[in-house]
């Protein structure tokens, strides 16, 4: 028996149908599904031409016993597979961030501790630089002496010994290598200070956020993937660096929860608390030398929350991501 929605008689018939198909020894199943035109159908059988729809199995009280999701096309399955791959990569970044946060909080007690640690680190690096500078000065003095010896030979109309020429060349090479070492050292110092400053900002955020339990949740929830993946493919590293700034803007524009993580590879807002919350995350991924920026949306783990993530509103946010980045990049040219 198949009944379609659209009349009061249907509402009256459903309980009767359920009762009529149930006895003390056996219970027949009743199925409910919605077709492409939005018609709700109730039946004790699912015809072959209707099996592609999402359907619910109901008990004698019209309560849902089981749900069979809508059959997906090959294109939808391919999108879902790609989305899951991207989420796995993003989860790795999130897990790495969580581990770093744990180490940070276990290592330092306050910003004052971090400032002292930074000063000690920079002092150690500056000590290494003084050693390298001393080596360079020694090589330069050595080169000056060797050049004077060569000049004396020339003034005396003597041929400069081959060994001396080789020593001059070797000393020049040592000076060049020392200059390269100084350059590497300076980059190392800048990187160390930059990383420390970033850690200090993160530490300050974490210690403030500890007063709000919701602000520390970092588990990523899944969102529906019926449409585009929310993936921006960078042309090169320079473009990706510019696009990353706008990705953060987009996340904060459409998220309804506060900031949680902000690093050079992950921007994420706090976990959803209410049924109508959107929590967004953007992650910078690299595969086969190609950099990409991936947007994901998470909602509260409730029926309403999951419906929100599957809604057109969520899909529109995902679809608009790449277009937004492209428009912002174009406006900067």
286's CB contacts (< 8 A; 6+ apart) are 292
- pTM for the structure as a whole: 0.43
296's CB contacts (< 8 A; 6+ apart) are 86, 87, 90, 220, 223, 230, 280, 281, 282, 283
241 and 99 inside one domain: yes
Strand 231-233 to strand 290-298: parallel, antiparallel, or no bridges (unpaired)? antiparallel
166, 181, 209 - which closes a domain: 209
Cα separation, 148 vs 144, in Å, equals: 6
Q: Is the pLDDT of residue 112 over 70?
A: yes
20, 42, 68 - which closes a domain: 68
Q: Is the pLDDT of residue 222 over 50?
A: no
Tell me what the mean pLDDT of segment 88-109 comes to.
Answer: 77
The owner of tokens 């999701």 is: 69
pLDDT over 90, % of the chain: 33
pLDDT tier for residue 80 given thresholds of 50, 70 and 90: low
The DSSP bridge partners found for residue 266 are 283
321 and 232 inside one domain: yes
49 and 194 inside one domain: no
Residues 222 and 240 sit within 8 Å (Cβ to Cβ): no
Greater confidence (89 vs 155) lies with 155
Cα separation, 163 vs 230, in Å, equals: 66
Around 183, how many Cα atoms within 13 Å sit in the side-chain half-sphere? Answer: 6
222 and 311 inside one domain: yes
Cα separation, 219 vs 102, in Å, equals: 15
In this predicted structure, what is the pLDDT of residue 94? 66
The pLDDT tens digits of the residues spanning 161-210 come to 999 999 999 999 999 999 999 999 999 999 889 888 888 887 887 787 54
181's CB contacts (< 8 A; 6+ apart) are 132
Give residue 167's Cα distance to chain centre: 54
Tell me what the mean pLDDT of segment 86-110 comes to.
Answer: 77
Q: Quote the number of domains for the chain.
A: 3
pLDDT tier for residue 47 given thresholds of 50, 70 and 90: confident
188's CB contacts (< 8 A; 6+ apart) are 125
Q: Is the pLDDT of residue 83 over 70?
A: no
Residue 148 burial (CB < 10 Å; 0-12/13-18/19+)?
A: exposed
Cα separation, 250 vs 245, in Å, equals: 9
**Among 230, 221, 255, 244, which residue's Cα sits nearest to residue 318?**
230
Cα separation, 254 vs 244, in Å, equals: 16
Q: Is the pLDDT of residue 130 over 70?
A: yes
122 and 137 inside one domain: yes
In this predicted structure, what is the pLDDT of residue 15? 52
In this predicted structure, what is the pLDDT of residue 22? 45
249 and 328 inside one domain: yes
50, 68, 86 - which closes a domain: 68
Range of 251's domain?
74-103+218-332
166 and 20 inside one domain: no
Greater confidence (68 vs 134) lies with 134
199 and 293 inside one domain: no
Greater confidence (243 vs 75) lies with 243
233 and 328 inside one domain: yes
In this predicted structure, what is the pLDDT of residue 245? 93
235 and 323 inside one domain: yes
Q: Quick check: helix, strand or coil at residue 152?
A: helix
Q: Is the pLDDT of residue 313 over 60?
A: yes
pLDDT over 70, % of the chain: 80
99 and 112 inside one domain: no
The pLDDT tens digits of the residues spanning 6-24 come to 444 444 455 555 544 444 4
In this predicted structure, what is the pLDDT of residue 29? 76
Tell me what the mean pLDDT of segment 15-34 comes to.
Answer: 59
The DSSP bridge partners found for residue 27 are 22
222 and 312 inside one domain: yes
In this predicted structure, what is the pLDDT of residue 266? 86
């Amino acid at each position: 028996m198949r009944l379609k929605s659209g009349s009061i008689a249907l509402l009256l018939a459903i309980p009767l149908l359920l009762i009529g198909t149930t006895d003390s020894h056996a219970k027949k199943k009743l199925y409910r599904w919605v077709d492409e035109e939005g018609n709700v159908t109730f039946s004790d059988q699912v015809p072959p031409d209707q099996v592609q729809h999402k359907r619910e199995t109901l008990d004698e009280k019209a309560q849902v016993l089981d749900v069979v999701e809508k059959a997906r096309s090959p294109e939808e399955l391919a999108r879902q597979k790609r989305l899951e791959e991207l989420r796995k990569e993003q989860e790795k970044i999130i897990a790495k961030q969580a581990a770093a946060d744990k180490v940070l909080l276990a290592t330092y007690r306050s910003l004052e501790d971090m400032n002292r640690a930074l000063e000690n680190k920079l002092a150690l690096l500056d000590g290494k630089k003084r050693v390298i500078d001393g080596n360079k000065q020694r090589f330069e003095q050595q080169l000056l002496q060797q050049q004077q010896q060569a000049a004396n030979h020339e003034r005396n109309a003597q041929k400069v010994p081959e060994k001396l020429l080789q020593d001059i060349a070797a000393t020049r090479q040592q000076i060049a290598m020392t200059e390269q070492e100084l350059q590497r050292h300076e980059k190392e110092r800048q990187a160390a200070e930059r990383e420390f400053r970033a850690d200090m900002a993160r530490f300050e955020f974490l210690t403030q956020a500890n007063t709000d339990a919701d602000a520390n949740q970092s588990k990523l929830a899944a969102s529906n993937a019926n449409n585009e993946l929310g993936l921006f493919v960078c042309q090169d590293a320079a473009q990706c660096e510019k696009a990353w700034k706008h990705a953060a803007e987009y996340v904060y524009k459409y998220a309804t929860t506060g900031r949680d993580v902000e690093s050079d590879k992950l921007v994420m807002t706090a976990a959803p608390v209410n049924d109508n919350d959107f929590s967004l995350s953007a992650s910078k991924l690299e595969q086969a030398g190609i950099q990409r920026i991936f947007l994901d949306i998470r909602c509260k783990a409730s029926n309403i929350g999951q419906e929100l993530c599957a809604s057109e509103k969520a899909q529109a946010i995902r679809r608009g991501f790449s277009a937004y980045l492209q428009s912002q990049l174009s406006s900067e040219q």
